[in-house]
Amino acid sequence: TTKNSTLHQKIRDLAKAKKAIILAHNYQSAPIQDVADLCGDSLEMSIKAAATDADIIICCGVRFMAETAAILCPDKIVLMPNPEAGCPMADMVTPEALVRRKGDLGGIPVITYVNSSAAVKAVSDICCTSANVIKVVNALKEKEVLMTPDRNLARYAAANTDKKIHLWDGYCPFHNDLSIEAVKASKAAHPKALFVVHPECRPDVLELADSIQSTSGMIRFAGESSADQFILGTEIGLIHAISKALPEKKFFPVSDQLVCPDMKKTQLQDIWNCLEKMSGRVVVEEAIRIKAMNAVKTMINIK
Ligand code: 13P
Ligand code: SF4
């Protein structure tokens, strides 16, 4: 709409004047993806946050993404346009419960998915994302590790490495709900399409996949593939990002039920408001930040 395009331009102008960078996750709604300087997966968002020379980072996604930016950039102002946006999976582990479990397992290393709070990262040895989980597991010298909070990501890693991986019973309520029946129905409707899936889905669903990828990994995979049709086993927001990157190819959501409500909470107007009023600041307490930064940086430095 005209109202949206005016607001889009106003946001771009104000971001430039204030030296702000706008980062958006691939699941954000289309107007948010389009106004952002960078749209990416969790790993790309954190690498970009760590490397930016902007003064202000506007993080359009969910809280753990803004916290990761604040962990990596203590001298920058990190703003969340809608501070209500959280991740239910991140809430499935607390630092107290994690420390207890690590103790019960004799102190083995803890790998924590970035979909977690700063306080949980602070009691973890290393972080991982869906894009680098196998590399991270293989980089540890220990043969036994505990992975939190996503049991599906951990099972995927276990199937692709030689390590013994202890599970935490967390999951993404939306990816975990995708059934093999829904996948089969989608494959029947699009017989020529390859099925690409996110590792947060259940193991029986992953077995049906042509490729298992992070959100940006799906864009790379589809770009490099000779196929021209794909069924995406992830949140529907990715359809916009991938169609924009690869306009000549066709993408189908595996299910129109795979929607993360928290990822849709941020509106264009929220970005304007937070940039104008400098509201929604995310700060991580210094003692926690230092420890969490170790876990995140150890991950980023793995080559
Ligand atoms: P990606 O890092 O693959 O973008 O995934 C983030 C996420 O929240 C998936 O549900
Ligand atoms: Fe969290 Fe799932 Fe939403 Fe990703 S899609 S932010 S894991 S609830």
Give the count of beta carbons closer than 10 Å to the beta carbon of residue 163: 18
Q: What is the pLDDT of residues 64-88, one digit of tens each?
A: 999 999 999 999 999 999 999 999 9
Spell out which residues line ligand 2, taking CB within 6 angstroms. 62, 87-89, 115, 172, 174-175, 200, 235, 260, 262-263
List % helix, strand, coil for the chain (3-state, nearest 5): 45, 15, 40
Q: What is the pLDDT of residue 1?
A: 76
Give pLDDT, residue 72: 95
pLDDT in tens, 92-114: 999 999 999 999 999 999 999 99
Amino acid letter, residue 243: S
Phi, psi of 152 (to 5 degrees): -70, -45
**Domains of the chain: residue spans and CATH:** 2-86+263-282 (3.40.50.10800), 90-171 (3.40.50.10800), 180-259 (3.40.50.10800)
Q: Locate the ligand 1 atom nearest the alpha carbon of residue 25 and give its number.
A: 4
- Above 90 in pLDDT, residue 169? yes
Write the residue with the smallest CA distance to atom 3 of ligand 1. Answer: 214
Q: How far is the CA of 17 from the centre of ligand 2 (A)?
A: 32
Please tell me the number of the ligand nearest to residue 45's CA.
1
Query: Ligand 1 — pocket residues by CB below 6 A?
Result: 26, 41-42, 115, 129-130, 172, 200, 214-215
pLDDT at residue 19, as a whole number: 97
DSSP, residue by residue, 18-54: TTEEEEEETTS-HHHHHH-SEEE-HHHHHHHHHH---
Query: Looking at residues 34-49, what average pLDDT do you find?
Result: 94
Torsion, Cα 23 28 33 38, to 10 degrees, reads 30
Q: What is the pTM of this model?
A: 0.96
